Chains A and B, each alone.
Chain A
Amino acid sequence: MEGVTLSEAEQRYYCDLFSYCDTESTKKVASNGRVLELFRAAQLPNDVVMQIMELCGATRLGYFGRSQFYIALKLVAVAQSGLPLRVESLNTVKDLPLPRFVVSKNEQESRHTALYSSDADNPASYSGVIPPPPPGRIQVKKGSVSHDAVQQRTSTDQQESTSPVVSPQQSPPTSPHTWRKHNRHPSGGNNERPLAGPGPFWAPFSEVQPGSSTSSDPIWSGHSPPPHQENWVSFADTPPTSALLAMHPASVQDQTTVRTVASATTANEIRRQSSSYDDPWKITDEQRQYYVNQFKTIQPDLNGFIPGSAAKEFFTKSKLPILELSHIWELSDFDKDGALTLDEFCAAFHLVVARKNGYDLPEKLPESLMPKLIDLEDSTEVGEQTGEVGYSGSPAEAPPSKSPSMPSLNQTWPELNQSSEQWETFSERSSSSQTLTQFDSNIAPADPDTAIVHPVPIRMTPSKIHMQEMELKRTGSDHANPTSPLLVKPSDLPEENKISSSVKFTAGNTVNGYSSSDSYTSDAEQIGNAVTRQRSHSGTSPDNTAPPPPPPRPHASHSRSSSLDMNRSFSVTPGQQQAGVVAYPPAVPPRPQPSQGTGPHVHRSVDADGLIAHTSTSPQQIPEQPNFADFSQFEAFAVSGVNKEEEDEIETHSEVLQVEKPSDSASSLRVAKADGRVEDKAPANVPSSAGKGTTPLAPPPKPIRRRLKSEDELRPEAEEHTQKTGVIAAVLASQPSIPRSVGKDKKAIQASIRRNKETNTVLARLNSELQQQLKDVLEERISLEVQLEQLRPFSHL
């Protein structure tokens, strides 16, 4: 191979190219980055480029010496001529045309490298920055790998040795720096190539294999760890990068490779970035993986938060001005809780990367960066892994995971429309609207004699405290509940459901009290009922629980309340957020009856059936109501108020409501949460068939009672839950009646299916509402803490 003979023109051309590639002016080694760029510009397939590099001996030596470079160029010419790459062809092929390199690419690359060098004092040093994080990790992982003692390496090694020193301090920022450089120049072309490249190249990266190896694959695998971490984002698209990596067998060489590759991969990365910038803010998988890893370094639990101070340090390392970092924080901290969840962190990191690459920060968070991505990731593939990770949190993580889901809830309303699962969308929306409607009810209680408005605010505070209790309870009892079908927030919802289930029992009554929101509250109740039902029945009875009756009623209430409540609630919501009114939203009108409405969507879908079922069940419920009276311990005003609200909303079940009212008013006691639950269940069980009735009755009275108790403990969430449970209970109650009334298996099955759907919807809604409440509570807590901190020094004022 060394015996390549070059014609005069070739000699000159090659010399020029070598000078071009000799960015370090070593006169001996062509910068790998430049060489890679050059090869890419040759528009040869990646494997050919790899082959060329192997043949020219660069693989062996690990660098492009002049001879190797010339050989490589010659091989490029050979390849471009369509001739097979052979060592012999170097000398045997006569009149070989000069290798052609796409000028535009070269210019771009030169521009990149120029910028590259301008950005960093020394491209080499800059690339050295890139390696630090990965090398830092790599070096930890594997010891120094023996590599060919190449003298050229020494310089790079020295640089590498310095870079590792730097890396610990800069590990996070380096990647942004890297990305910045790389992403600065999105190039139009070769988007596919880079993307295709990493695939096969990264495949061999299974384990670190130090030492040179004859085949490139092991080498690549040796390089895999370092690039994985950081360079994935940077180098994902750079097949040549991997090829270059192949040339550096040792981990240290990885750094070098990374360094040199960094410059070379600039174009690749840029291409990749450009490809990913069809949607400029979309986070690619590699990027997301990198973000997740960075997140892990700060917060091992992927479902946890990164506190603001830690995030501040982390992003300060990226050397962006504080003002921009502040803006990035504003954009990415979706729930405004002062902490970053995984999604928020990824969004923030992505914004930092984009900013470093010269992209201006948007005024509003781009859709693709919104934390709701996690929720929507179920439908999209992007970040699914992270989404799943986010969702895999244990119940204890429900609150943190709720934040991304909560913002997603709020923000996903428009997105929900796009989601395939309409009912999910609807439930989420309904839950939000419930929240809003809750406010409305507070503002203008339909029931004059109910002190609902007042108790609501008071409840909010204690409810929050108790929310935690509820959650604790819930965590204990959750897992039995099959709430899986719930909405987008898979883990959150089930957890929320669990919470809600526990809360429902306790707060059921209170929730009823709030039930100003018509349709949604009923859904919440249903959810609560369903959940409670499930719990009572070990989750075996969902089939029977879906109460047909509720659907029609909530639907009706929807029309009425949705138009009014939502308008009012929206307007009110902002103002009341502090009061934690959010807690109210879950408080579905305690209407125990069918209003449980598995959800508006369910209602709609099942309207016809539901109506029938409802009517059929309503009479059933009426007899059940006396059970409420027996066990419900409402305070008269609360109960009546709740009932009234429910009545207003549930038109079809007005009669039932009235029946409930008396029963509610009859009970003025407050039942202990557990006791109430049990009691509620008991009567409910009686009227309804086994496995259904327990909850229907129990929840409605419980919400009402709970509402009163809210002052003690139940949080608005609890109330909501109770309401929901009440709804669910009502639904459940109705269910038994349905089969009886119908008396046909088919109808029963259909009814059960409906009920299940409704239950699911209700549960999902309950979850979302709970999450919302939690979010609100967290917000308030944060603001209170801030104020408290500021107040301390001012106590003397």
Chain B
Amino acid sequence: GLFCCQNYPLYIRSVPTENELKFHYTVHTSLDVVDEKISAMGKALVDQRELYLGLLYPTEDYKVYGYVTNSKVKFVMVVDSSNTALRDNEIRSMFRKLHNSYTDIMCNPFYNPGDRIHSRAFDTMVNSMMMQVC
């Protein structure tokens, strides 16, 4: 999931289509955790390492990772807990890729910040990423 600064979703994608609504709910609730972490940060943080919020919320079924950009665009990723192969570095790299793709989208003059993201390239990238994980 990808959310704008006002916390409305710009992009949500999940691989297993079942329980999609549950994932949506999880992602939305995780936004609260993200906001909490952001407010806890205090000063403006430019370092990318701090953009990565890390494991937000481990539940019994899955883990939620968060990542925020300097423009308060939040990336939230929900992964299955059974997928233990995912390490923190991998999550970081995935967020990095997401951020890069998002930047590319922003470069497109036809894209208005705040719109839903319809970019096919972005979709492709996200799908490939999710395929890697699953």
Contacts and interface: CB of A to CB of B under 8 A. Distances in A.
Interface stretch (A324-332, A406-414, A473-481, A744-752): A324-332
Interface string A321-356: 011011101100100111000000000000000000
B58 interface: no
A309 B111 CA distance: 11
Nearest to A326: B110
Contact of A790 (B5, B93, B97, B111): B5
B29 interface: no
B96 interface: yes
B69 interface: yes
Interface in A756-797: 779, 782-783, 786-791, 794-795, 797
Contact of A794 (B71, B96, B106, B121): B71
A728 B109 CA distance: 43
A782 B121 CA distance: 19
Nearest to A361: B120
B127 interface: no
Q: How large is the interface on B (under 10, 10 to 19, 20 to 34, 35 or more residues)?
A: 20 to 34
B81 interface: no
Max chain B Cβ within 10 angstroms of own Cβ: one of A315, A330, A788: A330
Nearest to A363: B120
A791 B71 contact: yes
A322 B116 CA distance: 12
A97 interface: no
B17 interface: no
Given A575-B96, A577-B100, A330 B108 contact: yes
A741 interface: no
B104 interface: yes
A311 interface: yes
A65 B69 CA distance: 69
A311 B72 CA distance: 28
A574 B97 contact: yes
Interface in B38-64: 38, 44, 48
A336 B121 CA distance: 12
A448 interface: no
A308 B100 contact: no
A574 B70 CA distance: 19
Contacts of B120: 327, 330, 363
A312 interface: yes
Contacts of A797: 5, 38, 72
Contacts of A308: 107-109
A578 interface: yes
Interface in B15-34: none
A329 B110 contact: yes
B84 interface: no
Contacts of B118: 323, 326
Interface string B82-111: 000000000001001101100111111111
B107 A337 contact: yes
Contacts of A312: 109-110
B72 A326 contact: no
B71 A333 contact: no
B124 interface: yes
Contact of B100 (A315, A578, A786, A788): A578
Contacts of B96: 574-575, 578
A754 B60 CA distance: 66
A787 B70 CA distance: 6
Which one of B48, B72, B97, B120 has the highest number of Cβ atoms from chain A below 10 Å of its Cβ?
B120
A574 B100 contact: yes
A794 B108 CA distance: 22
A325 B110 contact: yes
B110 A322 contact: yes
Interface in A544-601: 574-575, 577-578
Contact of B72 (A577, A786, A794): A794
Nearest to B124: A363
Most chain A Cβ neighbours within 10 Å, of B73, B99, B100, B108: B108
B109 A311 contact: yes
Nearest to B93: A575
B95 to A, nearest CB: 10
Nearest to A310: B109
Contacts of A578: 48, 96, 99-100
Contacts of B69: 787
Interface string A513-527: 000000000000000
A786 B71 contact: yes
B103 A790 contact: no
Nearest to A780: B103
A779 B106 CA distance: 11
B70 A336 contact: no
Contacts of A322: 110
Nearest to B73: A790
Contacts of B99: 578
Contacts of A315: 110
CB-based closest 4 A-B pairs = A790-B71, A308-B109, A312-B109, A326-B110
Given A312-B109, A575-B97, A791-B44, 5 more contacts: A326-B108, A330-B105, A330-B121, A337-B107, A790-B73
7 contacts: A316-B110, A326-B110, A326-B118, A330-B120, A786-B106, A791-B44, A794-B72
